[in-house]
Structure formats: structure tokens, C-alpha cells
Structure 1
Amino acid sequence: MSQVKIYGVREHLLPIRDQLSEVVHSCVVDALQFPQNKRAHRFFYLDKEDFFMPATASERYVILEFIMMEGRTVETRKKLIHLLYERIAEQLGLAVTDLEICILESPAHNWGFRGSTGDEIKLNYNVTI
């Protein structure tokens, strides 16, 4: 299980929303081996004055926060991060200084979906990769 929160300045994030979602999803499918029909993205649009950013970033600055069940190797998580930087720069022209990524993991028993807990449910993809 994985969910993605995407934060950015409204006027810059909204126009790229659909394309960014596609790119992020392609990285999740390739790195985490998710099914194509498994996507949970939430966009948080902020006003400029409500989004403090590093001096090295432009107004196109975006934060990606992945919340997922633990179990993936360090190599798998690094692969996801590297794919995101590569594809977002290539397909959206976003500078590496305008993108920050954080992966937060939680034990499967802390997740609840489809009427069960994450450690009790049978998924159609593998978490321990």
C-alpha cells in the first residue's frame, strides 16, 4: 500500500497536476511493482505566502510525500527516488532543486483498508521487494 501527497504553489502545481500524477505513478509501478490500476494521489495547493521554501528553490518547488507499508528494501526505495528525479526533470522540466521527496513507512498492522488491516489482507502485489 502506498499513498502520495503532493504539495506545491497552486498556480504552478495545478497546470501540471495530471502529467505529474502520470509520471509519479509510472515510477511507483516500475520501482515498487504496483499494479497499473493502483493509484492514490492527493494534491495540496498552497498560496505562495503559505509555502515557505528553500532559497535554492523556485516557485515551481514541489514536495512529494510517500506513505507506505514498510517492507521494501533500501535499494527499492532509492530506485523510486532516482526514477522520480529522472522522469520529473525529463518530462516536466522541473529542476532537481525544485523537488523534494520523503518516504514515510508504517507497519502493515497500522494500515486499514477494504475492511481489514494491512497485515491481514491479501494484496495483488508484493510489498517485500
Structure 2
Amino acid sequence: MSQVKIYGVKEHLKPQREKLSDIIHSCVMDALGMPEDKRAHRFIYLDKEDFFMPGGRTDAYTIIEISMIEGRADETKKKLIRLLFDRIQQQVGITYMDLEICIYESPACNWGFRGMHGDEIQLNYKINV
């Protein structure tokens, strides 16, 4: 299970949301082995005056936060981050400098979906990859 939040300046992020969602999901499938039908993305549009950002960033500055059940190897998570950096820059044009990615993990027992606890449900994909 994973959930993705994408934050950015509304005028820049909103026109790219479908393309970004497709790219992010392709990376999640390739790196984590997630099924095609397991997309949970939320776009958070911010007014420019409400989005304070580090120096050297442009209006394309985008933050991606990925929440998921713990269990993936460090190399798997690094692969996901690398795929996101490269594909987003190549296909959307958001530079490495304007993209920040953070993965948050929590134990399966902290998740609840489909009316069950995350550590009790049978998933159709592997967590320990």
C-alpha cells in the first residue's frame, strides 16, 4: 500500500497533474512492483504566497511525499527516488533542483483499508522487495 501527496504552486502544478500522476505511478510500479490499479495520489495546490521554498527554486518547485507500509529494502527505495527524479525531469521538465521527494514508512499494523488492519490483509503484491 502506498499513498502519494504532491505539493506545488497551483498555476504550475495543476496543468501537469495527469502527466505527473502517470509518471509517479509508473515509477511506483517499476520500483516497488505495485499493481496498476493501486494508484492513490492527492495533489495539493498552493497559492504562490503560501508556499515558502528554499533559495534557488522556481515556481516549478514540487514536493512529493510517499507514505507506505514498511518493508522495502533501502536499494528499492533509492531506485524509486532515482526513477522519480529522472522521469519527471525528462518527461515534464521539472529539474532536480525543483523536486524534493520523501518516503514515509510505518508498520502494517498502523494501516487500515478495506475494513481490515494492514497486517491482517492479504495483498496481491509483495512488500519486502
What is the aligned-residue RMSD (CA, Å)? 0.4
Distance in 2 between residues matched to 1:106 and 1:56, nearest whole Å: 32
1:103-122 matches, cutoff 5 A: 103-122=103-122
Residue identity in the other structure for 2:62: V
TM-score by length of 1: 0.99
Q: Partners of 1:128 and 1:115 in 2: how far apart?
A: 23
In structure 1, stretches of 5+ residues that fail to align are none
- The match for 2:31 is 31
How far residue 37 of structure 1 moved from its aligned partner, in angstroms, is 1.0
Deviation track 1:54-92 (CA, whole Å, cap 9, x = no partner) reads: 112101100000000000000000000000001000000
User: TM-score, normalised to structure 2's length?
Assistant: 0.99
Aligned length: 129
Identity %: 64
Runs ≥4 in structure 1, deviation > 2 angstroms? none
C-alpha separation in 2, matches of 1:37 and 1:116: 19
* Residue segments in structure 2 that go unaligned for 5+ positions in a row: none
Q: What's the offset of the Cα at 1:123?
A: 0.2
What corresponds to 1:79 in structure 2? 79
Secondary structure of 2:97 counterpart: helix
CA distance in 1, matches of 2:44, 2:86: 23
Between 51-60 and 74-83, report the one with greater CA deviation: 51-60
